Structure 1
Amino acid sequence: MSALILDHLAVSGETRDAARAHIEEALGFPMQTGGEHEKFATHNHLMGLEDGLYLEAISIDPNVPNPDRARWFNLDNFSGTPRLTNWICAVPDMAAALERWEDVGTAVSLERGELCWQMAVPRSGILPFDGFFPPLIQWHGALHPNQMLGSSGVSLKQLTVAHPQADALSATLGTISGAPIRFETAQNAALFAEFVTPHGPRTLT
């Protein structure tokens, strides 16, 4: 059985700078420049967290042509104010994970600089449970983005996944390690992340 480990959280925005500003305002700490993802025509900024986690501010890259497939994180359909849209979980064996969760897409191989990884992406770009199923990632090699980012002193206290089918989502996923995660049954699906920061407790939505 493929174990899930919380890897990072992603805030989507209509622009990368808007997503970055949303995180920086919420947590009171600056992000670092990330890079581009050519296969999906997106780009990001990053912030290192404690305990091996990190935050990602991501958007469509307007400076490159549209890809020949749907973008990940359902960014083709994103609009409105920046918000926490995805919680990405790492798996030790992508092939085994795709056998267990057959409807989460196919493995796409990516690289950026020294980073090399696979991400499970549906052809539609939309993950199960209205996109609140976590994108699955497997890192290859010893390097992880958190190791490349400066320490912010910010740590994730708890992630809340609110969804009308929260119990079913939790049962489908099974045990998740890496950080405390709470599933809450709610009419409107949303993600809420509580942090401990040098400035006191902060919340990112």
Structure 2
Amino acid sequence: MAEIDHIVIGALTLEDGARYAEALLGVKPSKGGAHAGLGTHNMLIGMGANCYIEIIAPDPAQPAPPHPRLFDLDDASLRNMLEAEPRLIAYVASTPALDPLVARLGTSHAGEIASMSRGDLRWRMAFPPQRQDMDNLIPPMIQWEGERAAKHIRDSGWRLTALEAEHPDAQALRTALAGRGLGDAVKVKQSPHPRLVAHLRHRDGREATLTSA
């Protein structure tokens, strides 16, 4: 069964993203690293052994990649929104059976599988092709090879309590998520405009909400 692996905050710079997260959650993100060849880098906030927050931004130390950056970071409309402030832009789901899932859905819907690594961490991912992700509401799927990254990130005390996806074609989104084993992991709502909403709760009782719009 698939589950939410991490949620993604987009920012124009990592410094912007770190300030945003600290102001909202009272937590300083941990150092992440660069996504070599993809033109991005990240910082991380742990939410227990199985989930975390990724803050992602274009990496000025890398040349512009020959393809669009992950999570539509090169999209002009998103960049305009991120100029106002960082925000939730996507999420990633984990599965123990990535190959059968991609074989069943087809690469035209699930995307091609790519192997990735950083230090001792190894994983494989399949990103839905652009315009097949229903505005980032259908997530990339990840399969960790060995321990998950969340186990290596300092626990912030925050937990993801609910993830909601709003879209004009709610039934199509429900069908797509159910086909990935996420029917119970994401609450789908009908809405005139696509939106992702993450509800968080801290062990001390504080609550926070992240939204994409």
What is the TM-score of this pair, normalised by structure 2?
0.86
Specify the SS of the correspondent of 1:203.
Answer: strand
Distance 1:112 1:153, change over 3 A: same
Find out whether 1:43 has 2:41 as its counterpart: yes
CA shift for structure 1 position 71: 2.1
Task: Map 1:57-136; keep pairs closer than 5 Å.
Answer: 57-77=55-75, 78-79=78-79, 80-81=81-82, 82-102=86-106, 103-122=109-128, 124=130, 126-136=131-141
What is the rounded CA distance, in whole Å, between the counterparts of 1:180 and 1:4 in structure 2?
Answer: 8
| Closer/same/farther in 2, CA of residues 147 and 51 from structure 1, 3 Å limit | closer
8 Å Cα contact 1:115/1:145 also seen in 2: yes
Could you tell me which runs of 5 or more consecutive residues in structure 2 were left unpaired when the two chains were aligned.
none
Distance 1:127 1:17, change over 3 A: farther
Secondary structure at the aligned position of 2:73 is classed as: helix
Q: CA deviation at 1:20?
A: 2.4
The alignment of Structure 1 onto Structure 2 pairs a total of residues equal to 200
Residue 167 and residue 204 in structure 1: after superposition, are their counterparts in 2 closer, same or farther (change >3 A)?
same
**Aligned partner of residue 47 in structure 1, secondary structure:** strand
Structure 1's 13 and 184: CA in aligned 2 closer, same or farther, altered over 3 A?
Answer: same
Q: Which whole-Å CA distance do the structure 1 matches of 2:129 and 2:198 have between them?
A: 28
Return 5+ residue gaps in structure 1 as ranges. none
Deviation of 1:94 (Å): 1.8
Aligned ranges for residues 1-205 of structure 1 at < 5 Å? 3-50=1-48, 52-77=50-75, 78-79=78-79, 80-81=81-82, 82-102=86-106, 103-122=109-128, 124=130, 126-141=131-146, 143-174=147-178, 175-176=181-182, 180-197=185-202, 198=204, 200-205=206-211
Question: CA separation in 2, counterparts of 1:39 and 1:66?
Answer: 9
Code of the residue aligned with 2:192 in structure 1: it is: Q
Give the drift of 1:110. Answer: 0.9
Identical positions, percent = 31
Contact 1:127 1:135 in 2 (8 A): no
Residues in 2 aligned to 1:136 and 1:76: alpha-carbon distance in whole angstroms: 21
